[in-house]
Amino acid sequence: MKAYAVLFVCMGNICRSPTAHGVFRHRLVEGGLADRVRVDSAGTHGYHAGRPPDERSQEHAAQRGYDLSDLRARQLLPRDFEQHDLVLVMDHENFRHARELCLPGQLHKLRRFTEFCQQHKAQVVPDPYYEGAQGFEEVLDLVEDACTGLLQHVQTQLRQG
């Protein structure tokens, strides 16, 4: 059986998308779905390719029980749209960049991650890079919320199979 594949995307793949990657991976393990769902993350820009997530992202995630230390930044590629069932982008600007790379017939896979939020009404997950600790906490609040809705969506997709 082919694994369902989810890709999280932000600009540099060092703050928001690896946070979402780590949180969702954790939720999949807790839910017993880690063997049925593949998770990855990428950036629309290759500024930080090969680097681990921002230390502040790792620190704030670790305080909530998520380990991001094994993740490494990479750039979004056109083939990602073929290899993933969902490509979830953090904000409008990166949605535009991702759409430019999207292969014909794959646009239905590209969505804003915040569409899955259950509690928050946010349109985007804001970039915390130039913010203080509160920015990283806000990212985690939004990511945890959206991961709850995403997990429900993925479970439905797996049942429909």
Between β-strands 37-43 and 4-10, what pairing exists: parallel, antiparallel or unpaired?
parallel
The DSSP annotation for 138-150 comes to: HHHHHHHHHHHHH
Q: How far is CA 122 from CA 48, 55, 67, 69, 146, in A?
A: 26, 25, 25, 27, 10
In sequence order, the β-bridge partners of residue 8 are 41, 88
Residue spans of alpha helices (H) in the chain: 16-30, 55-63, 80-83, 92-101, 133-160
- Residue from 10, 15, 117, 147 carrying the catalytic annotation: 10
User: Has 96 been annotated as catalytic?
Assistant: no
Please confirm, yes or no, whether 102 is among the known catalytic residues: no
Q: Which is the catalytic residue, given 40, 80, 91, 127?
A: 127
Which of 15, 16, 56, 80 does the annotation list as catalytic?
Answer: 16
Q: Which of 42, 17, 3, 50 is nearest to 147 (CA)?
A: 17
The two three-digit tokens of residue 143, written as one number: 């990511």
Q: Which two tokens stand for residue 132?
A: 């203080």
Annotated active-site residue 16? The verdict is yes
Positions marked catalytic: 10, 16, 127
